[in-house]
Amino acid sequence: MTKNNQDEKLQELLSHFIQEIKAENKQLVTKLSEAKQEKIKEKKAPTIPNHLKPMLEKQEKRENQDTLHSNAPFLTEHVETSMESKIVQLSEQGLSIDEIAKQLNKGKTEVELILKLNERMIVNT
């Protein structure tokens, strides 16, 4: 297999892996948003005069949007780097690819791919 062919396959695998992570993250953000909306509905609000209700609704809407936007990048970043960090850390502790894959319940190819990408990132820095 040529180096270009290996690079293309590696890039294709990585692209597919990233797409799956993005889809999972989108579902997580949606579920968190729905859970927060339900929690807000469950709260018993005190009686508010009618002339103040529109202002309160605008404020709640603004807070919900701010929370969703501020938490989404953190959640995405955390999920995407978490498994990579574990794999690299276990490798640095001297575990083999087989041992890492078994311990983290991941495929050997996935572990090997992440370690190779990590090595390339270190070399290119």
pLDDT, tens digit, 9 for 90 and up, residues 41-72: 666 555 667 776 777 777 777 777 665 555 55
pTM of the model: 0.37
Q: Which residue has the higher pLDDT, 95 or 53?
A: 95
| Structural domains counted in the chain | 1
Query: Distance (Å, rounded) from C-alpha 28 to C-alpha 77?
Result: 13
Assess if residue 87 is contained within a domain: yes
Assess if residue 72 is contained within a domain: yes
Assess if residue 39 is contained within a domain: no
Range of 110's domain? Answer: 55-125
Assess if residue 19 is contained within a domain: no
Assess if residue 21 is contained within a domain: no
Mean model confidence pLDDT for the chain: 78
Assess if residue 43 is contained within a domain: no
- Residue 122 — pLDDT band, cuts 50, 70, 90? confident
Assess if residue 124 is contained within a domain: yes
